[in-house]
Amino acid sequence: MTGPPITIVAEDRGGWRVLHVRGELDVETAPVLREACSDAISDGHTSLIINLADVPFIDSSGLSMLISAQRVVRLAGGRLRLATATPATLRLLHITGLAGAFDVRPTVDSAQIEAVSKPT
């Protein structure tokens, strides 16, 4: 990891657990986010929004962790949304073919509002 360590702040918003992530999501930090997702599910929060707005870099380990989190959330009967408008993250999702695999919204507010008003 070349950047600062990752920090994750959990927030409950209208039935959703929001995980605000700050820092690079890579081989060294992906386990921290994986644990935060597991803790949320263990606590009964199966509707998750992962806020990646303050994540400047994601490597293949980070992508793998996001895919794994989505699978775990779905198996628990929940939903996962990513909140980011960061060009680097959006480009990464597009060039890896994962843009369609995730429900990506530009902000936490839009993810929550659209999630509440939109049938899933």
pLDDT tens per residue across span 59-112: 999 999 999 999 999 999 999 999 999 999 999 999 999 999 999 999 999 999
What is the pLDDT at residue 120? Answer: 45
What is the pLDDT at residue 4? Answer: 56
Within a domain: 48: yes
How many other C-beta atoms can be found within 10 angstroms of the C-beta atom of residue 19? 23
Within a domain: 108: yes
What is the pLDDT at residue 118? Answer: 44
pTM of the model as a whole:
0.89
42, 10 Cβ separation under 8 angstroms: no
Confidence of residue 113 (pLDDT cuts 50, 70, 90): confident
Q: How many domains does the chain have?
A: 1
Confidence of residue 54 (pLDDT cuts 50, 70, 90): very high
What is the pLDDT at residue 86? Answer: 93
Within a domain: 24: yes
CATH number for the domain harbouring residue 41:
3.30.750.24
Domain that holds residue 67: 7-117
Within a domain: 93: yes
Within a domain: 92: yes
- Rounded Cα–Cα distance for residues 100 and 18 (Å): 21
Task: Transcribe the chain into DSSP letters.
Answer: --SPPPEEEEEEETTEEEEEEES-BSTTTHHHHHHHHHHHHHTT--EEEEEEEE---B-HHHHHHHHHHHHHHHHTT-EEEEE---HHHHHHHHHTT-TTTSEEESSHHHHHHHHHHS--
Confidence of residue 115 (pLDDT cuts 50, 70, 90): very low
